[in-house]
Amino acid sequence: MKAFTQNVTSGTKRSRIPVVFVKLSAYLSSYIELIGGVLLILGVFVSWAYVLLAVNLIMVVLGFSFLQPLWDMKHVFPRMAMLAFLMVTPLDYDLFRLSALF
């Protein structure tokens, strides 16, 4: 995390983004992805996990767009496509979550 925040803050030196905001959003994004992934694996609060991950994806897109207006979508598009697929698929089709076993 330290190397990541240093890399991002080095790109924001010329802008007026506070370093505290960059560090907070980096840690927040990491924990949202961790908690959202665990919730999806366990199969609990799935709808809330989808919303949480979608908001996180929007936050990441806005952050990258602010740093570099024209950037490569190779990291965002697969996540967006997978999340959109999961959100439109009925929960009855999800047989691999742990709560479906009980």
The pLDDT tens digits for 24-79 are: 888 888 899 999 999 988 888 888 999 999 999 888 887 777 666 666 677 788 88
The pLDDT tens digits of the residues spanning 65-102 come to: 766 666 667 778 888 898 889 888 887 777 777 776 76
> pLDDT at position 34, please?
94
Q: Would you list the domain boundaries of the chain? A: 2-90
> pLDDT at position 52, please?
93
Q: How far apart are CA 33 and CA 30, in angstroms?
A: 5
Instruction: Give the chain's end-to-end CA distance (angstroms, integer).
Output: 37
Secondary structure string (H, E, C) spanning 48-97: HHHHHHHHHHHHHHHHHHHHCCCCCCCCCHHHHHHHHHHHHCCHHHCCCC
> pLDDT at position 51, please?
92
